[in-house]
Amino acid sequence: MQVQPAAYVDETGWREGPQRAWRWTAVTADVTVFVVRRSRRAKVAQELLGEPCWGWLVTDRWRAYTWYPSWRRQWWWAHRRRDIEAMSARGGRSQEIGEALRAQARQRFHWWHRVRDGTRAHTTLARYRWPVRRDVERLLEAGQTCGVPKTEGPCRAILTRRQARWTFVRHAGVDPTNNAAERAIRPGVLWRKGSFGTQRPDGSRFVGAMLTVVATLKQQHRHVLDSVTAACEAALCGEPAPSLLPTVDALNQVLLPAA
């Protein structure tokens, strides 16, 4: 995972006995990794991603990722859209700025969806970026002095990470959303709601390992039960466990379009 060109990272709440914990996930093109830790700080992100790590990183705005270079990150645009909706609901000058930003975001995602579905080349998206970026930053600068503190703060915060907002335009293969990590994290959320977390670190390691195994095998279109059975048989026989790394056939199945 630590040598993949791009990673989508997210974290969500967990319980380990009486203490609060977090379940972290990192999704890449080949593997998905989960760990449960009692910390939500940067040291866990560094442990998960490796340091130094020079792949493209897609995250939300949580401060645990601020150690990563802004020019190598992509901020999750869904949070920006929530900020824009909140601006639009405040009325006055804030509403004007919010509605203008919403229109720009709608146009930007229209182009992105066409690139993603193959009807437009990525170079087209890059060409359209400059006028949109100019207008967006002009609106954000106006929002910093619009007289509504709840709007001024988000505008200022977005501008301080301006490099991290346009990585998906500069580099093909980087998404502007963190949907991959959110989808991967949902089964663990259901597990937590049904089991109320774990009691000890051993249980947390089991959760992280099993979620990693299941998500990675499904990602590679491999049979989960057969692979887990083979791992158990290998353990009983004192043999190495089957690798979770993709085989050549599995990798081709993931990368090549269906006939």
Q: pLDDT in tens for each of the 259 residues of the chain?
A: 888 889 999 999 999 999 999 999 999 989 999 999 999 999 999 998 887 677 899 998 888 998 888 888 888 776 677 888 889 898 899 999 999 988 888 887 777 778 888 888 877 777 777 788 888 889 999 999 998 999 998 888 888 888 788 888 888 888 887 778 888 888 888 888 888 899 999 999 999 999 999 999 999 999 999 999 999 999 999 999 899 988 655 455 544 444 3
Instruction: Report DSSP state, residue 242.
Output: P
Instruction: Report DSSP state, residue 161.
Output: T
The confidence score (pLDDT) of residue 259 equals 37
Question: What's the predicted TM-score (pTM) here?
Answer: 0.81
Judge residue 255's burial from the number of C-beta atoms within 10 Å of its C-beta, 0-12 exposed, 13-18 middle, 19 or more buried.
exposed
The confidence score (pLDDT) of residue 252 equals 52
**What is 6-72+178-249's CATH topology?**
Nucleotidyltransferase; domain 5 (3.30.420)
Question: Are residues 10 and 185 in contact, defined by beta-carbon separation less than 8 angstroms?
Answer: yes
Long-range contacts: 34-37, Cβ < 8 Å, 24+?
Answer: 34/188, 34/207, 34/208, 34/209, 34/211, 34/212, 34/215, 35/208, 36/198, 36/204, 36/205, 36/207, 36/208
The confidence score (pLDDT) of residue 254 equals 45
The confidence score (pLDDT) of residue 211 equals 94
Quickly tell me which residue has 């907002």 as its tokens: 165
Q: How many Å apart are CA 154 and CA 140, to the nearest integer? A: 9
- 50: CB partners within 8 A, 6+ apart: 2
* Residue ranges covered by each domain of the chain: 6-72+178-249, 77-170
Q: How many Å apart are CA 39 and CA 259, to the nearest integer? A: 45
Phi/psi zone of residue 22: left (φ > 0), alpha (ψ -120 to 50 degrees), beta? beta
Overall residue count recorded for the chain in this entry: 259
Cα 179–181–185 angle (5° rounding)? 115
The confidence score (pLDDT) of residue 199 equals 93
Q: How many Å apart are CA 211 and CA 34, to the nearest integer? A: 6
